[in-house]
Amino acid sequence: MTDPLVAATATDQIRTPAAPVGAAARHRPLDLRSVRLHPAGPLGAMQERNAAATIAHCIEHLGPALDHFRRVLGESDAENPGFVADTDVYKTIEAAAWEIARTGTTAWDAWLDETIGLIARVQEPSGYLVTWVQADPAKERFADLEGAHEMYALGHLIQAAVALDRAAGRGDLLAIARAFADLVDREFGPGRKDGICGHPEIETALVELYRHTGERRYLDLAARMIDLRGRGLLKTGHLGAEYFQDHAPVREARSAVGHAVRQLYLNAGAADVYLETGERALLEAMHAQWDSVHERKMYLTGAFGARHQGEAFGDDYELPSDRAYAETCATIADVHFNWRMLLAGDRSAAGYAEAIERELHNALAAAVDATGTRFFYASPLHLRPDRLSEGHAPRERQSWYSCACCPPNLARLTAQLGSYVATVADGELALHLYADAEIDVPDSLGGGTLRVDTAYPADGRVRLRLTGSEGLDLALRVPSWSPTALLDGTATAPDDDGYLRLRLTAETTLSFDLAPRWTRAHHRADALRGSAAIERGPVVYCVEQVDLPADVALDDVLVDAGAPLDEHDGSPHLTFPAAVRPSAPGLYGPPRNPDAPRPVTVTAVPFAQWGNRGGDAMRVWLPAV
């Protein structure tokens, strides 16, 4: 059944990764082409680097995955690269698609032609398309929903196909994705057998396919996947039901548990279903999930996953710095979750936007190096001097991984960054992220162009200029760390929802207080007790061994959480006085009066920059008096 309200707009979808059509969405996103990030700012620079280096790097490393597609056809004897290798291809296509939407580039057209042609040849007449299963005659379709990642692969295929159709009007991949989605609907749709994927992700993809095509059955299938979770359908084995978020129905699961990426993708999907159905019980469950994730289980850098075992969330306030798994894909999934909760508009958008800002400027900025070709899969907040690399948690960024989910995931998110800057809500343009940019104002708000001139977050001044219009109602987010703002030099407090409102007719300047500050953790966070960290605006800082004198070990540094933090013009670095504690004899012993600590001047750098000068010791949280 085609939803006529959606079908009427499906041929003119805005180019954005999430385009709600339901009445439950208070905020409406802008077209990706309407927000142009300038490369002079950090977000624009991330996009330029992504376009110039990261997407091409991903394409270069997809050889084994694409050869496995050829293996299914008998055209290669390549070894199976893993059960999620198909999704590396799809995420890279999606990254290219959003870059096409952003700039109109044709650089990857030939690669897209060849790759989509190969995918089409591998797809079975039924619509089935998972090389991990197809290459092995012993494997049965949909027999291992826990581990084969079949619907997870379909989810990323759908998202790539929708992106490519929206970006370039290219429907060949969309036809492939719909054939596979239709097969899953025939197998597991309403009135058919029960089944869910061990790795959530298909839910949000199906909702977007509904939005793009107007076919209601895709939304119904997504809702069914949400409804069936928590009924014990998965064979969880030694991993346990919580690992798969199959321990309780979604509407009753109030705490984030298990594999962090899976939980956050599931939350994004549930939020998407709410945006189209308006079901309050689902939204209330997502409020509880959001509180659990961000108030009790989020690292200061905007990372998630306290445990290597199961790549999982820990208990409330379980946030070890050195053993943090902090997977890049978990932070990306949380950006998706936050954005969909922001679009709902049921609570203040400020908290969701601030979480996205923290993630972009810290965990995600640190996940890729300055070349755009080396990546962290896991980003701890403390690297011990003698820690060995392990699995997907190496001491230094790597060019690729055996399970390469993070690099292409980072590429697709970076290509769509402009989508998260602003929305339209209640007759005003709401500015959620501050970045050097030009924004085309929708005709419904009077048209024209909003120019945002800023070096934020290096500088707290945001100059707003409106051209081509007589006026624009603006809602400007005031970050929680700057409870007041200066509007043209006058202190102005935000409304209760965290946004400052004004009628812009020509030009105004908004200024935030970016004084660096010491931060303490909640007293229940045992691993962080007695420590302090440094923040400046949304940016988290760290100290690296390379910046200390040769005779000073980072783990011996003791800080005064009231010490002045000195800024230096033209440099993102901060310096402050600290002390070096003398080493005590023995691992354990009775209390003793240690020798007097000696003074040392310490340099702190943005966490996003750590590890670019070698894999020496690093700390975000510093022992403090």
- The DSSP code for 12 is T
Residue that terminates a domain, selected from 353, 385, 420: 420
Give dist(CA 347, CA 60) in Å, integer: 43
Element (H, E) at 492: strand 490-492
Strand intervals (E) in 183-315: none
What is the predicted pLDDT for the residue at 595?
72
What is the predicted pLDDT for the residue at 11?
39
What is the predicted pLDDT for the residue at 414?
98
Give dist(CA 158, CA 184) in Å, integer: 12
What is the predicted pLDDT for the residue at 7?
45
Is residue 6 scored above 90 in pLDDT? no
Q: Which domain holds residue 471?
A: 423-511
**Residue 26 within a domain:** no
What is the predicted pLDDT for the residue at 9?
41
The verdict on 123 and 214 lying in the same domain is yes
Task: Give the residue with greater pLDDT, 388 vs 503.
Answer: 503
Per-residue pLDDT, averaged over 373-378, amounts to 94
Give dist(CA 476, CA 423) in Å, integer: 11
Average pLDDT, the chain: 95
What is the predicted pLDDT for the residue at 508?
98
User: Band of the pLDDT at 389, cuts 50, 70, 90?
Assistant: low
- The DSSP code for 322 is T
What is the predicted pLDDT for the residue at 412?
98
Is residue 1 scored above 80 in pLDDT? no
What is the predicted pLDDT for the residue at 387?
76
pTM of the model: 0.96
The verdict on 236 and 298 lying in the same domain is yes
pLDDT digits (tens, 9 = 90+) for 533-577: 999 999 999 999 999 999 999 999 999 999 999 999 888 999 999
Domain containing 476 — which CATH number?
Answer: 2.60.420
The verdict on 506 and 604 lying in the same domain is no
User: Band of the pLDDT at 494, cuts 50, 70, 90?
Assistant: very high
The verdict on 484 and 412 lying in the same domain is no
What is the predicted pLDDT for the residue at 157?
98
Residue that terminates a domain, selected from 511, 536, 553: 511
Instruction: Please provide the size of the chain in residues.
Output: 625
The verdict on 127 and 37 lying in the same domain is yes
Is residue 8 scored above 50 in pLDDT? no
The verdict on 158 and 301 lying in the same domain is yes
Is residue 82 scored above 90 in pLDDT? no
Active-site residues, by number, are: 311, 405
> CA distances (Å), 542 to each of 122, 478, 602, in order?
48, 25, 10
Quickly count helices (H) and strands (E) in the chain. Answer: 17, 22
Is residue 438 scored above 80 in pLDDT? yes
The verdict on 482 and 545 lying in the same domain is no
Number of domains in the chain: 3
Question: Residue 286 in contact with residue 347, Cβ under 8 Å?
Answer: no
The verdict on 143 and 282 lying in the same domain is yes
* Residue tagged 């959530």 (tokens): 200
pLDDT digits (tens, 9 = 90+) for 191-218: 999 999 999 999 999 999 999 999 999 9
> CA distances (Å), 112 to each of 109, 144, 168, 448, in order?
5, 30, 12, 35
Is cis: bond before 4, omega within 30 of 0? no
The verdict on 442 and 456 lying in the same domain is yes
Give dist(CA 109, CA 94) in Å, integer: 13
Tokens matching residue 219: 């939304």
pLDDT digits (tens, 9 = 90+) for 268-318: 999 999 999 999 999 999 999 999 999 999 999 999 999 999 999 999 999
